Structure 1
Amino acid sequence: MEFTAGGRLELRLTRSDVGKRVSVRRVIQEGPAGRKFTDTVGVLTSWDNGVLLITRKTGERVRIEESSLVAGKVVPPAPARRRGPAATFPELARVAARAWQPVESERLGEWELRAAVQAEPREARPRGEVVGRRAGFTRRANSVLPLGDPGRPLDVALDRVREWYAARGLPAYVQTATGAEGTQELLCAGLEERGWVREVSAELRIAALAPVADLDRSGEPGRGGEPGGPGGGVELSREPGAGWLDRYQRKGVSEVALKVLCAGPSVWFATVRGENEDRGADGVVVPAAIGRCVVDGRWASFAAVEVDPARRRQGLATAVMAALARRALDEGASAALLQVEAENEGARGLYDRLGFTTHHAYQHYRAPEGTTRSTA
């Protein structure tokens, strides 16, 4: 990475560059053998009191003492990926949100407050506050989607967010993204300055759809999914059966959860029957593998790919995704997306093999405990 002009290191950054993507070099060690340096690339999210905060594409924030800097400059956005479909962050964020639709929502400027919580009688305090917290089904349907300007100062907007979720007995979450052009590093910094805590870090990955549809259980191009072929035995339906829900790892699938799972432009559920007709405690046959796909224009959003632990590494997850991909192709889709938590190494390895690449990272920030008013 070149920082020099005529062989001389230069610091070509000012506080007016906050919000831009930058690259800096700083001293991390001084000794008899000389200085040791390290480079950091990310969005400059603040520069106050002699400290720079740079948010990397993963959402990690790096604090850098101004006195340690030896070079720095503004750099262009990360180069476009060479594989997979072209896509922007706003497009992907909206498609992913439509795949996990809330039961109720409210606009706050360009933000969308989203909730999917079981409706039930609520005990209220004298001021109308709900006693206790209730569970919402999936953070993706129970968090703010902040695409744009809330139409008011951030502190006022966050107060409204906390009030709205408190009225529903839920903790307040804001979903943010980092690591691509147009993502929300400055909002992440603003939330952390106000004490919001990052609880979940994940990746949104994309791929061309046709290669996924042409995979067999080994992960290689083949007959995948043809009757009698290596990917056969995958059943597709418009609604999840009792067995599908038994295999699904989330506990307590409620009426609201079913509404979220079945909502979307065109929803498909995949099931692979167990070889030995395994049955759950309720006597329902539990599938060996399941999956879900929402077809939305050119996009196919994959989720809920689960495999019986005793049947893993047999290609069932690949077979499920291939069958769903073929259905999505039949409906006119050409691109695939999915979301995977950063710590789920097994799933990330599978999606690597299927050709999915990371477009951006996303995080869920939870409001701090205490009073409604946030402090900077």
Structure 2
Amino acid sequence: MGQSRSPLGVADLERLAARGWRAAEEEPLGDWLLRAAGGFTGRANTALVAGDPGRPLPEAVDAVAGWYAARGLRPGAQLAGVRSRPADAAFAAAGWPRDEDVLVLTAPLVPGAPDGVPVELAPTPDDGWLATSGHLGRADAGTVRAVLTRAPRVVFAAVREAPAPAPPVAVARGVVTDDWLGVTAVTVAAAHRRRGLASALVAALTRWGAGEGAQWVYLQVTASNEAARALYRRSGFVEHHRYHYRWAPS
């Protein structure tokens, strides 16, 4: 993958990524987007802070807190890029602690060459896929499946060492929104790491994404995940921006 700069700015890329990981309930707060999905993942259960909330920032913080409290969820906010700093300061002033940085990486989409690792692609995740991804322990299966499949062009990649229903040893999810491929949920079982399985999954998803008309690819990785960051850097991804979550005091 090349080193060309992404054609989307921070807010537009975050809004596009939100369309690829849809919550069950979404509601605008000015330019911000309130999202709830039974507590499954921060991305689907925080306010996407991008643009003007249409009211003073302290009032916007209170509105976010009330919206999530009414749904029995811990209020949270996703704050991306330098333009979110004033809002970030308002959440910090209200006592909301922050999580670590998450890096959003992008690259022009170049289909990866097959490398001999057989990667299965399926339109829905089976129970083995969900078990390997680690998502099942975070919400009920119905909520997890709904969030993962709530997109018109989505695929679930898996590497298995035995035929299904044996659980995969590595999984990933791909979603195409407009002309962007989003790669999410890349997970390799601990006993099978350092075998190139993550690279094989990403390559298979880029081939699928190219067939769906995607021209760019994005993914997210936590700042502390040095191994994954090194892998993606070798694959040509560059940092587009960072975001972090803030959560209301528990």
Fold shared by both chains (TM-score > 0.5): yes
Aligned equivalent of 2:127, options 215, 221, 242: 242
Tell me which residue corresponds to 1:103: 24
Q: How does 1:323-342 map to 2 (within 5 A)?
A: 323-342=204-223
Tell me which residue corresponds to 1:256: 143
Deviation sequence 1:289-336 (CA, Å, 0-9, x none): 111011111100001111122221111111111111111101110100
Shift of 1:338: 0.4
Tell me which residue corresponds to 2:73: 170
Establish whether residue 138 from structure 1 lines up as the match of residue 41 from structure 2: yes
Establish whether residue 265 from structure 1 lines up as the match of residue 168 from structure 2: no
Q: For the residues of structure 2 that align with 1:200 and 1:265, how far apart are their CA atoms?
A: 31
Tell me which residue corresponds to 2:203: 322
SS of residue paired to 2:129: helix
Residues 105 and 237 of structure 2 are in contact (CA less than 8 Å); yes or no, is this contact kept in structure 1?
yes
Tell me which residue corresponds to 2:4: 83
Shift of 1:342: 0.8
Q: For the residues of structure 2 that align with 1:263 and 1:331, how far apart are their CA atoms?
A: 17
What TM-score do you get using the length of structure 1 for normalisation? 0.63
Tell me which residue corresponds to 1:50: none
Alpha-carbon RMSD = 1.8
Structure 2 portions without partners, runs of 5+: none
Which amino acid is 2:206 matched to? A
Tell me which residue corresponds to 2:35: 114
SS of residue paired to 2:173: strand
Q: Which has the higher strand share?
A: 1
Shift of 1:82: 5.5
Matched residue count: 247
Q: For the residues of structure 1 that align with 2:5 and 2:124, how far apart are their CA atoms?
A: 30
Residues 208 and 334 of structure 1 are in contact (CA less than 8 Å); yes or no, is this contact kept in structure 2?
yes
Tell me which residue corresponds to 1:71: none
What TM-score do you get using the length of structure 2 for normalisation? 0.92
Bigger Rg over Cα = 1
Residues 221 and 229 of structure 2 are in contact (CA less than 8 Å); yes or no, is this contact kept in structure 1?
yes
Q: For the residues of structure 2 that align with 1:231 and 1:162, how far apart are their CA atoms?
A: 50
Which amino acid is 1:352 matched to? R
Tell me which residue corresponds to 2:60: 157
Tell me which residue corresponds to 2:93: 193
Q: How does 1:38-57 map to 2 (within 5 A)?
A: none
Q: For the residues of structure 2 that align with 1:150 and 1:261, how far apart are their CA atoms?
A: 28
Which amino acid is 1:263 matched to? R
Tell me which residue corresponds to 1:202: 102
Q: For the residues of structure 2 that align with 1:200 and 1:161, how far apart are their CA atoms?
A: 21
Q: For the residues of structure 2 that align with 1:303 and 1:336, how far apart are their CA atoms?
A: 11
SS of residue paired to 1:198: coil
Residues 232 and 319 of structure 1 are in contact (CA less than 8 Å); yes or no, is this contact kept in structure 2?
yes
Q: For the residues of structure 2 that align with 1:265 and 1:196, how far apart are their CA atoms?
A: 35
Structure 1 portions without partners, runs of 5+: 1-80, 118-135, 215-223, 370-376
Q: For the residues of structure 2 that align with 1:242 and 1:143, how far apart are their CA atoms?
A: 27
Shift of 1:84: 4.2
Q: For the residues of structure 2 that align with 1:257 and 1:168, how far apart are their CA atoms?
A: 18
Q: For the residues of structure 2 that align with 1:245 and 1:148, how far apart are their CA atoms?
A: 35
Q: For the residues of structure 2 that align with 1:155 and 1:258, how far apart are their CA atoms?
A: 35
Q: For the residues of structure 2 that align with 1:145 and 1:169, how far apart are their CA atoms?
A: 18
Deviation sequence 1:122-147 (CA, Å, 0-9, x none): xxxxxxxxxxxxxx000000000122
Residues 204 and 361 of structure 1 are in contact (CA less than 8 Å); yes or no, is this contact kept in structure 2?
yes
Which amino acid is 2:231 matched to? L
Say which structure, 1 or 2, has more relative contact order (CA 8 Å, 6+ apart): 2
Q: For the residues of structure 2 that align with 1:107 and 1:153, how far apart are their CA atoms?
A: 16
Q: For the residues of structure 2 that align with 1:91 and 1:264, how far apart are their CA atoms?
A: 18
Shift of 1:86: 2.7
Q: For the residues of structure 1 that align with 2:92 and 2:218, how far apart are their CA atoms?
A: 28
Establish whether residue 366 from structure 1 lines up as the match of residue 212 from structure 2: no
